[in-house]
Structure 1
Amino acid sequence: MPRTAIHTDAAPAAIGPYSQATRAGNMVFFSGQIPLDPATGNLVEGGIEAQARRAFDNLKAVCVAAGGTLDDVVRVGLYLTDLSQFGAVNAVMGEYFSQPYPARSTIEVTALPKGAAFEVDALMVLG
């Protein structure tokens, strides 16, 4: 099955040999989005809520570039460097997704690229 790379300037450019997302058939696989400002490439300032909002905004921008919306997302993976901040991230996620919510996994990790405290990846299925 052919793959198509997805790219938008409304989300940070890839910082390695990968695509922001890749479409195969009606499925779109998203690379992890960390809270980088797409205009500057720098990590956003502020706490976990600010980082989560920026990462979800980046994910949303790539969804749009792929021809979908967050409503088309069927699975998300959340990665936090401090799982005690899960409640705050969960509240922010509730601002971006509505029922039926996507499936989700939440994993505490030792570190994330660029010193981020949060990262999100996703899988989207288009009609």
Structure 2
Amino acid sequence: MERSRISTGTEWEPKVGYSRAVAVGNRILVSGTTATDEDGEPVAPGDPERQTRRALEIVVDAIEDAGGRREDVVRTRIYVVDADDWETVGEVHGEFFGDVRPASTMVEVSSLIGPEYVVEVEAEAVVGE
């Protein structure tokens, strides 16, 4: 089965040994994604709404780079450092995906990769035959 890696070009991908996304067969798997700018710097530290939106933009860009579309997303996993942000994060997720409505899980965690991050998103997509 053919396997391809999608990279955002950050220094961390080869250092840590991961890819932004991996496409295998008709599946695209996107790694945990935080809200960063083009230089890898945090976007909107501490802001769950803006971080969710930016992380989802990066996720969908990776899926598109792998040949998929937003409509192909079948699952998302959302990690938040404060479960009280669930409604804000959920509303952005709902706006972003609309009628796609992927299966989704939201989990509160004690921390993410840095204190300025409050949301991290993973996704899986299945593209048509």
> Does TM-score exceed 0.5, indicating one fold?
yes
- Going by fraction, where is helix more abundant, 1 or 2? 2
AA partner of residue 75 (structure 1): R
Q: Larger deviation: 76-85 or 93-102? A: 93-102
Aligned equivalents of 1:64, 1:14: Cα separation in 2:
22
Displacement of 1:8 in angstroms is 4.2
- 1:1-127 equivalent positions in 2, closer than 5 A: 1-8=1-8, 13=10, 15=12, 16-37=16-37, 39-45=38-44, 47-115=47-115, 116-127=117-128
Aligned equivalents of 1:63, 1:100: Cα separation in 2:
14
Note closer, same or farther for the CA distance 1:14–1:107 as it changes in structure 2 (3 Å cut): farther
Aligned equivalents of 1:100, 1:66: Cα separation in 2:
19
Displaced runs of 4 or more, over 4 A:
none
Aligned equivalents of 2:35, 2:7: Cα separation in 1:
17
* Per-residue Cα deviation, 1:44-69 (whole angstroms, up to 9, x for no partner): 12511111111011111111101111
SS, match of residue 35 in structure 1: coil
TM-score when normalising by structure 2: 0.88
AA partner of residue 40 (structure 2): G
Displacement of 1:14 in angstroms is 6.4
Aligned equivalents of 2:11, 2:126: Cα separation in 1:
22
Aligned equivalents of 1:40, 1:62: Cα separation in 2:
16
RMSD: 1.5
Report percent identity of matched pairs: 35
